[in-house]
Structure 1
Amino acid sequence: MILAHLPFGAAMIIILSVGGSMVNPGKPDQAYISSLSQIFKNSPHSFGIVVGGGKLAREYAEGERKKGKGEFWADLAAIRATKENAGLFLSHLRGICCLNICDDFIQAHDALQKHRIVLMGGTIPGITTDADAALLAECIGAKRLVNVSNVDGIYDKNPAAHKDAKKFGTLSFEKLVSLAQVQDTRHAGGHFIFDMLACKLIARSKIESHFVSGKNLEDVKNAIEGTRHNGTVVR
């Protein structure tokens, strides 16, 4: 059942996919987490926040590979890292956030009936937290998703490797899928703009999606509100 009402008089339910590198680039960035949390506190909206694993997930996954374990076990280790990163928000959102890190989409759906904010990490091996965020958006019927990462939008090629990379201001769902097609390696802790499954999910449900740099908090706020920002809008 899609959520029939919004708790606490919230205007919308917004889904965020927050890159793990933003909150834990090597050690937890409590100042950044506090600043991002303040945006959520000051907003009238409800939030489903899915947090990635970043460097910690890559380290955990590689640790499993060094033990001779396969990608399933690397994924499980990476999921553990995502939940640890999600837990970093709890002390900053006390009083308005469900105090349990939700393990699945139905649990998050139900928690949003009682709380203005719910937190998730990864769910099952084989999919990224971007796909988890897209699935959560579908589960609760959210109309807007915001991807917060260390990249300031979607480019036609990797901007870190190509100085002539072009950033898109707006994209169709179809174009996003075609761009993701060459970047989805399915390796735990890999670098995606937004993996293929996530792209197809937001496309089939026509979920307006905003891609912004987490370093620009004004852009994050504007993306949440659906107003103009310096990133990329997919619709």
Structure 2
Amino acid sequence: MTDNSGKSSYNRVLLKISGEALMGDQGYGLHPPTVARIASEVQSVHELGVEVCMVIGGGNIFRGLQGSAQGMERTTADYMGMLATVMNALAMQSALEALKIHTRVITAIRMDEVAEPYIRRRAVRHLEKKRVIIFAAGTGNPYFTTDTAATLRASEMSCEAIFKGTKVDGVYDMDPAKHPEAKRYDKVTYDEVLAKHLGVMDASAIALARDNGLPIIVFSLDEPGGFRGILAGEGTYTIVQEK
């Protein structure tokens, strides 16, 4: 994914990570050393000259679906989940700014004292100025996941790919943690992901990516240097795209 000069062939990408990725070995909340490590991964890609935006889930703090399952009204639970993503975004902003990277948190729900509201043209301008953007509060609507928010924002920002950082190094035909014989795909189509229920992202996100021709690259966020390595044409990953 690099040209002969060693520079990434991607100019603008979106990194999607789960809230659980920020927990480290804890069972809940934020683990500051883990947040700092992920920030350093983003820094290494930023140094390549790649424009980076991010979407971070909120599952380490609150999941709307879990709250709904416990009897909470779904819309209220989803809004609580959106607020959890804002907390994670602010933590990541702090870690990135500690590395001297200009960062903006942009939320789909107005909270002017802590973050900017989402205005597409302003967000694009931040990227052009080489600032890292963290999109928070999902789409601003209940019933939509942060996966769908990531695909929506990546499309609006004209990103060339979504990089989804997970605990495994790609997409497998079954859970590799439970099934050692699981096989990893190098490439898989959007329709195969949907038909085989491969769990890359939810169906709405996959369909939106397919309709906009937006590749999804699934890689291990636990591998040091993995994000930059893939942009440098190295490492192990699965790419989801049309044939």
Over aligned residue pairs, what C-alpha RMSD do you find?
Answer: 2.6
Given the superposition, is the C-alpha separation of residues 62 and 199 from structure 1 closer, same or farther in structure 2, using an over 3 Å criterion? closer
Match of 2:126 among 114, 122, 125: 114
TM-score (structure 2 length as normaliser): 0.77
Is the Cα–Cα contact under 8 Å of residues 67 and 74 in structure 2 kept in the other structure?
no
Q: Partner amino acid for 2:135?
A: M
Contact 1:108 1:118 in 2 (8 A): no
CA distance in 1, matches of 2:222, 2:94: 21
- Deviates further, 106-115 or 77-86: 106-115
| Unpaired segments ≥5 residues, structure 2 | 1-9, 110-116
- Please give the alpha-carbon distance, in whole angstroms, between the structure 2 residues aligned to 1:208 and 1:99: 25
Partner of 1:4: none
Deviation at 1:61, TM superposition (A): 5.3
Q: Does 1:195 align with 2:202?
A: yes
* 2:225 aligned counterpart, secondary structure: helix
Contact 1:65-1:74 at 8 Å conserved across structures: no
Structure 1 residues 76, 167: closer, same or farther in 2, change over 3 A? same
Which residue does the alignment assign to 1:28? 30
Residue 140 in structure 1 maps to residue 142 in structure 2: no
Deviations 1:90-114 (A, max 9, x none): 1122254344332279535522303
Distance 1:163 1:147, change over 3 A: same
Offset at residue 81 of structure 1 (A): 1.4
Distance 1:193 1:202 in 2: 12
**Which of the two has greater helix per residue?**
1
In the aligned structure 2, how far is the partner of 1:108 from the partner of 1:222? 30
Alignment of 1:1-235 (within 5 A): 12-25=11-24, 26-42=28-44, 43=46, 44-58=49-63, 62-63=66-67, 65-66=69-70, 68-94=71-97, 96-103=101-108, 106-107=118-119, 109-115=121-127, 116-121=131-136, 122-123=138-139, 124-180=141-197, 192-223=199-230, 225=231, 227-235=233-241
Using the TM superposition, give the Cα deviation of residue 126 of structure 1 relative to its aligned residue in structure 2, in angstroms: 1.2
TM-score (norm 1): 0.79
Please state how far the C-alpha of 1:137 moved relative to its aligned partner. Answer: 1.1
- Return the letter of the residue paired with 1:34: A
Identity %: 22
Q: Distance in 2 between matches of 1:204 and 1:64?
A: 30
d(CA) in 2 for partners of 1:147, 1:69:
30
Cα 1:226–1:204, aligned 2, differ >3 Å: closer, same or farther?
farther
Q: Aligned pair count? A: 213
Describe the SS at the equivalent of 1:16: strand
